[in-house]
Amino acid sequence: MDIIHVQGSGPLRGEIQIQGSKNAVLPILAAAVLIEGTCCLKNCPHISDVNCMCRLLESMGCSTYWDEDGLKVDTSTLKESRLPKELVTSMRSSIILLGPLLARCKEASLDYPGGCVIGDRPIDMHLHLLKEMGAVFTIQNEHIAGLAEQLTGTTIRLPFPSVGTTENGILASVMAKGRTTLLNCALEPEVQQLCHFLNAAGAKIEGVGTDCLRIEGVEKLYPVTYMIEADRIVAGTYIFSAVATMGRIGILNTPVKELDSVLEVVKQMGCRLSLEGKHLEVWQKERPKAVSLVQTQVYPGFPTDLQSVLMTTLAVSDGESQIEENIFSNRFKIAGELVRMGAEIRIEGRRARIKGKEKLYAMSLLAEDLRGGAALVLAGICAQGNSLIGNCHYIERGYEDICRDYRFLGAAVEKIVRS
């Protein structure tokens, strides 16, 4: 098992560049299935979820490779529409390949991606939307076989602004017959980036950035070179890290416009922010103040993906705070590990009540999911002594090199590879 060793490091100081967005590049890689030829994704993050998506594309007969420009994806030799179970079930977002496969191959076959530690991760909304467009599914023993002779545009209202469902709807519509109107769409920046990528490839998507997307099906899409934007969740991770450690850091390429709800919370904690262009200075002079209640919401509300890092920060803040998790059913997993480090946290249904402590104590910890793992590394930095965090492969799904990043910010963090 690979382990991260973290020394209690005091206030973070330094500057950092943010990697490309995981949750933007994954649907864009799925969109490449719709485009015969080679697309180039610049600023693509080197993370294991991208590797997994590349393996899935290669299992379909596509080729992927990295060069000095970024990640190249050539789908001209795509011939297989059945996805390997071990890859699909290792990454929930593999479901995002369903729409493009039905659009390009008129058929698709994959296993249920399954739930994970943060929640059940059902796909009922994905299947319902695609059926509305003419797809037919046969489901046996957790295996999905889909057929779509011709996907046809229609008007569909999503029961919930699900990110993945919105993305599958967009991917199924851009080359469908006629016009599709998607209502109650997710507004997340990553959905908007997918639309910009597809429009650059020749799609006709209107209403980008609103909850109503109008998509005119086109005959063909063309290969593009596209720059992946900075990852707002990774940026938010280091913003909270500066707050939790009473540090002073600079983030060179901050997607500030996508972080309003996050910056609002850190200002309530007493953080000073100054922005020049995309260079954000984050300075926490005193111990962070508690925040009475933070509720995770769909974009532009507070992102569920920063809820764990927020919990670590509130665990060392001055006073009593509450977090309400409204997106996933089981996303307070790290509370138990933080309590072992001396934090005072009580879980009551969807709410976590946190009484901030001046000190956390080093511990041997286990990551159970991507964002929880990152929050445990931050807890180790805040703690006294040397912590070890196991299962750090979860963290590598979404962070290129969290140890490198934190070392840039002055923390003593290193990965120990154990056979």
Binding site for ligand EPZ (CB under 6 A): 22-23, 26, 92-93, 119-126, 160, 162-165, 190, 304-305, 327-328, 370-371, 398
Question: C-beta of 276: minimal distance to ligand EPZ in Å?
Answer: 29
* Cα R_g (the chain), whole angstroms: 21
CB of residue 351 to ligand EPZ, shortest distance in Å = 16
The nearest distance, CB 50 to ligand EPZ, in angstroms, is 11
Task: Identify which of 365, 258, 362, 260 has the alpha carbon closest to the alpha carbon of residue 308.
Answer: 365
For residues 413 and 65, is the Cβ–Cβ distance under 8 A?
A: no
First to last CA, the chain: 7
Q: Could you give the CA distance from residue 322 to residue 314 in angstroms, rounded to a whole number?
A: 9
- Do 95 and 123 contact (CB within 8 A), yes or no? yes
Catalytic choice (116, 185, 392, 403):
116
68-82 burial string, b = 16+ CB within 10 Å, else e? Answer: eebbbbbbeebeebe
Buried b (16+ CB within 10 A) or exposed e, 121-134: bebebbbebbebbb
Dist. CA 353–CA 292, nearest whole Å: 9
Q: Which is nearer to ligand EPZ, 65 or 160 (CB)?
A: 160
Nearest-CB residue for ligand EPZ: 164
Cβ at position 119, least distance to ligand EPZ in Å: 5
CB of 401 vs ligand EPZ, minimal distance in Å = 17
Least distance (Å) from ligand EPZ to the CB of residue 240?
A: 15
Do the bridges between strand 344-348 and strand 294-295 make them parallel or antiparallel, or are there none, so unpaired?
A: unpaired
Residue closer to ligand EPZ by CB (options 42, 128) is 128
Return d(Cα 419, Cα 411) in angstroms, integer: 25
For residues 71, 96, 137, 186, the Cα torsion angle rounded to the nearest 10 degrees is -150
Query: Is 254 or 304 the residue whose CB approaches ligand EPZ more closely?
Result: 304
**CB closer to ligand EPZ out of 115 and 385:** 115
Segment holding 137, helix H or strand E: strand 136-140
Compare residues 26 and 382 and give the one whose CB is closer to ligand EPZ: 26
**Residue 185 falls in the annotated catalytic set:** no
Q: Which is nearer to ligand EPZ, 137 or 283 (CB)?
A: 137
CA distance 114 to 218: 33
Q: How far is the CB of 396 from ligand EPZ (least distance, A)?
A: 13
Residue with tokens 């063309």: 222
Query: Is residue 238 within 8 Å of residue 405, measured between CB atoms?
Result: yes
β-partners of residue 16 are: 251
> Which is nearer to ligand EPZ, 301 or 319 (by Cβ)?
301
Q: Which residues are catalytic?
A: 116
